[in-house]
Chains A and B, each alone.
Chain A
Amino acid sequence: MKKETADILIIGAGASGSAAAWNLSKLNLKIVCMDQGPFIDKKEYSFNNKNREIYKLGKFNIDPNQRKFNSDYPINSNNSPISIANYNAVGGSTLIYSGHYPRFHPSDFKTKKIDKVGSNWLFNYYDLEKYYNLNDKMVGVSGMTGDPAYPKIKNLLPPLDIGYSGDIIAKAFNKLGWHWWPSYAALRKSKKYKKGIRPTAVEIYLNKAIKNGVIVKPNSRVLKIKLSKNKIATGVIYSNSKKERKFLKASIIILASNGIGTPRILLNSRNKDFPNGLANNSGQLGKNLMLHPLGFVEGHFDKYLGSDEGPEGCSIYSHEFYETKKNRNFKRGYTIQLLKAPGPIETFHYLKKFNRIKFGNFFFKNLFDYFGRTVPMAIICEDTPSRNNFIQLDNKNKDSDGLPGIKINYKISENTKKMLSHGINQCKKLLKTAGAKKITAFGPVKNTGWHLVGTAKMGSSKKNSVVNKFGQCHEIKNIFIVDSSIFPSSSGVNIASTVQAVSLMISDYIKKNFKKLIKKNA
Chain B
Amino acid sequence: MLRSKEYYNLRKNLKKILNQMIPGNKFMPSFSKAVRIEIILNKHLENKLMLSLKKKRINFNKMQDFENYEKVLCNDILNTYFTSNSVIKALNLMKRSYLKNTKKENVFKLLKKVKNKKKIFRN
Contact = CB atoms under 8 A, between A and B. Distances in A.
Contact of A364 (B28, B107, B118, B119): B28
Contact of B119 (A51, A144, A148, A309): A148
Contact of B83 (A51, A107, A144, A177): A51
B8 interface: no
A170 B109 CA distance: 11
**Contact size class for B?**
35 or more
Contacts of A182: 107, 111
Interface string A332-365: 0000000000011100100000000011110110
Nearest to B115: A146
B72 interface: no
Given A180-B114, A360-B21, A107 B99 contact: no
A54 B83 contact: yes
Interface stretch (A315-323, A380-388, A420-428, A502-510): A315-323
B95 A372 contact: yes
Contacts of B122: 105-107, 114, 323
Given A167-B105, A372-B95, A148 B88 contact: no
Contacts of A177: 113
Given A180-B114, A344-B91, A304 B99 contact: yes
Nearest to B64: A360
A344 B114 contact: no
Interface string B63-102: 0011000100000011100110000100100110011001
Contacts of A50: 83, 88
Nearest to A180: B114
A179 interface: yes
A129 interface: no
27 contacts: A53-B83, A54-B79, A105-B121, A106-B121, A106-B123, A146-B115, A148-B119, A164-B99, A167-B104, A167-B110, A171-B110, A181-B111, A182-B111, A305-B102, A306-B98, A319-B121, A344-B78, A344-B91, A345-B79, A348-B78, A359-B22, A359-B66, A359-B70, A364-B24, A364-B25, A364-B28, A368-B94
B20 interface: yes
B65 to A, nearest CB: 7
B1 interface: no
Interface of B: 20-25, 28, 65-66, 70, 77-79, 82-83, 88, 91, 94-95, 98-99, 102, 104-105, 107, 110-111, 113-115, 117-123
B120 A179 contact: yes
A507 B22 CA distance: 56
A170 B65 CA distance: 43
Nearest to A174: B113
Nearest to A361: B23
Nearest to B121: A105
Contacts of B88: 50
Interface string A390-414: 0000000000000000000000000
Given A344-B91, A359-B70, A361-B23, A319 B98 contact: no
A51 B110 CA distance: 35
A144 B78 contact: no
A173 B110 CA distance: 10
A258 B5 CA distance: 59
Contacts of B102: 164, 303, 305
Contacts of A159: 107
A309 B95 contact: yes
A148 B120 contact: yes
Given A105-B121, A107-B123, A148-B117, 16 more contacts: A53-B83, A54-B83, A107-B121, A148-B114, A149-B119, A162-B107, A164-B99, A167-B105, A173-B114, A177-B113, A181-B111, A303-B102, A323-B122, A359-B21, A359-B70, A360-B65
A151 interface: yes
Contacts of A171: 105, 110
B55 to A, nearest CB: 22
Contact of A179 (B25, B94, B117): B117
B41 to A, nearest CB: 18
A53 B82 contact: yes
Nearest to B25: A364
A89 B65 CA distance: 43
Contacts of A305: 102
Nearest to A349: B78
Contacts of A193: none
Nearest to B95: A306
A358 B65 contact: yes
